[in-house]
Amino acid sequence: MFNFARFGAARLMILLLAAAVPLQLVAAEPEDKDYVERMSREHRDDAPVANPASQRAVLVPVVSARVEYARVGETTVHGFLARPEEATGDLPGVILIHEWWGLNDNIRAMAEQVAARGYVALAVDLYGGKTAQNAVEARELVGLSMENSADIEENLRQAHRYLTTTAGAARVGTLGWCFGGGWSLNTALLMPANIDATVIYYGRLVTDPEALKPLDMPVLGIFGSEDRGITIESVHAFETAMRSLGKDVTIKIYEGANHAFANPSGQRYDPQAAEDAWALTVSFLDRHLKR
């Protein structure tokens, strides 16, 4: 039992101040665990198989390669870069952020689709080269990533730097699905002066108006009405907060669609909703990045 009588007021104050940071970390942990549980339930019977989203035809020839785009601590980070083969001059850039399965062939296919639309597309890797083959492995990778959020932030900062310096992109947008949708928003919050457009496919949302104040780019959010992982209540709270701040936000909720309905990998693909959402995404990026 702690004996408060043995401590003077000054010592007690020092003790409380020293404990403040750990207490904040502990308080945030249940929210992260709840998010992982919700994602696990949504993907319980899912698998990272290719579906029509990642199998769309690439409209024009592209060149692509595995590239080293970042070094975080002692770790070299590799991603997948794609651009139109016949491109001349600088192109706008897009940071593609993988769903909870990781940077697999289906995400690489999406990078080539984006590139064929007239972009230099960088598909980043937030899992240190690992990919999940099932929902159990994906859950583990998401959980580990939450323990290293500072490394992920540095990873994404360097991804932006790579696009603007090495790849010569004048304007940069972010695009992510599921786990990557949340990080698409987080990247915008991390670098609000450097991101020119943000697309969130049913990603984890921030609803605190104070936290959203720095955003100064158009945001497109795409969600499904039947999603139990990213609830409609949180979507409405996000939209309300953004509109109260006068932000440029577009929210599209597809009736009858579940979580992950447009993921490049997975068995929850909804053809009508996914294809409409993709057309909306392409139009949004073209409007705000091709200036």
Burial class (CB in 10 A: 0-12, 13-18, 19+), 245: middle
- 85-114 confidence digits (pLDDT tens): 998 778 999 999 999 999 999 999 999 999
Contacts of 204 (CB under 8 A, 6+ apart): 35, 179, 181, 182, 185, 230
Q: Are 201 and 178 in contact (CB under 8 A)?
A: yes
Does residue 26 sit in helix, strand or coil? helix
pTM confidence score: 0.89
In the chain the domains, ranked by start, together with CATH numbers, are: 30-289 (3.40.50.1820)
- In this structure, the chain runs to a length of 291
Alpha helices (H) along 89-197: 105-116, 135-146, 149-161, 179-190
- 44-88 confidence digits (pLDDT tens): 999 999 999 999 999 999 999 999 999 999 999 999 999 999 987
Average pLDDT of the segment spanning 27-50: 86
Q: Are 177 and 264 in contact (CB under 8 A)?
A: yes
- 213-250 confidence digits (pLDDT tens): 999 999 999 999 999 999 999 999 999 999 999 999 99
Does residue 88 sit in helix, strand or coil? coil
